[in-house]
Structure 1
Amino acid sequence: MAKDKLLDISLATLEIFCLVYVRKNAIEVANHLDLSQPKVSRALAALRAVFDDPLFIRRESQFQATETAHNLYPIFCQMMACSQEVEYLVRGGKGVMAANVEVATVPQLEINLTQSIKQAALAVSEAEMMVATTPWGEGTAQQLLNDELDAAISFERADNRAILSKSIIQHRGGHLVARKDHPIWQAPNIDNMIDYPLVKLITMPFPANRSPLGCYAKRVGKQLQLYATAPDLGSAANSLLNSDAIIIIGVQGAVDFLKKHQWIACTKN
């Protein structure tokens, strides 16, 4: 039955899902797509019926994705990318002159990327542009050097000097959080932090191994370990108190909550 229902799901519905996943607010998504809020709600309801899962749970003023939603997000992103590629092939088959641009990126940066590139291109040229995205991988840098890709966007700069790159996401700092008797407090610096496992909140926008801390660990030849994925701050606090794990928090309200636990310490880094 679920497979039959899935056939009725449009690509527009998948786009709404992906935007809600990233923006965590249905009203903001409706305004962005110039849709009514009920239409966004109906799209989410259709997907909930297919997968028999709430997909998003309202927590205060934001939506929190369920585990099913976390699993669906990269799949739906890939489906959107395939749709773009099919569109290009169909239009090319009709003889329409179109520039084809292929960009490698991570799922968290993929939403609205094709539309943004097209809009930027229209500002300088009236020529039609077809934009396709492909997942970032270990061989992406070499593909750039081989001219197999036009661009790549990720969370870290290229380490090959032949590739011109710069950081587009700046680290604004955060709070290092761990139990008060944790050995990290002897020298709370980044080189020591990557030696301890990480607690990750399920609402964080990227997997632990693709976080800024995880990217730094990889750059210096280490593998950042994930201790637990916590559904809420209470569970995160429990993991911190009973392990050598640490967590990086950038939201002051979350830091204040964790400080209330007697045996947890926080410091700005």
Structure 2
Amino acid sequence: MTEVKLSDVDLNLLYIYLVLIEEKNVTKAASRLKVSQPAVSRSLSRLREVFDDPLFVRNSHGLSTTARTDQLAPQLKEMMEALETLIQPSEFIPEQSTRRFVLSTTDFGSLTVLPKLLEAFRAQAPHAVLEVKSWDESTVSDMGNAEIDLAVAVLSKEPPAGVKGMRLKSDTMVCLARKGNPHITNGILTLEGYLAAPHVQVVLGRRHQYAVDRALTKLGHKREVAVTLPNFVPAAAVVRNSDLLLTVPKLFAQDFAEISPNLEVYDLPFEAKSFDYSMIWHDRYQHDEAHKWFRKIIYEVFEEYKHLYDD
């Protein structure tokens, strides 16, 4: 028997074979397939060539199967059902999912965004897992390795090719200081007080100068950075127990001040550029139904923040 390669077989023949097995009648098979009876007969002839077996024999009612067809029928049915599933649109059912979703963000994102995100995540997908990984400037270039589903961060430059981005919300920088800080005058943070105070600076990645320092440089001023830390939460904790000032995003400052009654939020005494929070993900996830659901939840969390904080 000559070896037959799958590439040489029209897969439509296998579907016709399955219908013939189920109908055991060429006329009924043709009606179900919406083709002519001679077309089904020609397909049966080709199937006999492929399998080197009669496959069916005629009887008074139509067709009866050969031993070879009886052997192949269960495998053929299982295979055709699998192919049907393969070509169907993917469906994501949150309440049944056990998928692990990996979010990359800063500790600021974990403090500010994560509680609201987790509430919606757990309510809709109680069996899924949310894993949070730390973010730095190099993370965006690593998004192609499939270890991160999505990141929420402030981008200093356009994401590389293959990485999608969506603006979520604009924010501004403000200053955190403890109540009674001697550099605050009558409840107002002046430029003189800001420059006289020692500062805590959160250093993310390899960035050496921040927007607030560039703004001060344009005005001919420079602040004193006394402490640098890699995360927002410990930096805010330092300010809570010292006379240092911390310049941070307004979204973080307001949320942290809510859980730290001895901290106050002050507008900066000079103009600094606003910035955007972005949601970024790799192109491979663009049409993934589960990923679309995850992106929608994060987008809705920031829509809620817009309602709460935007003027």
TM range (shorter): 0.3 to 0.5
**TM-score (structure 1 length as normaliser):** 0.35
Which one scores higher on RCO, CA 8 angstroms, separation ≥ 6? 2
**TM-score (structure 2 length as normaliser):** 0.31
Higher strand share: 2
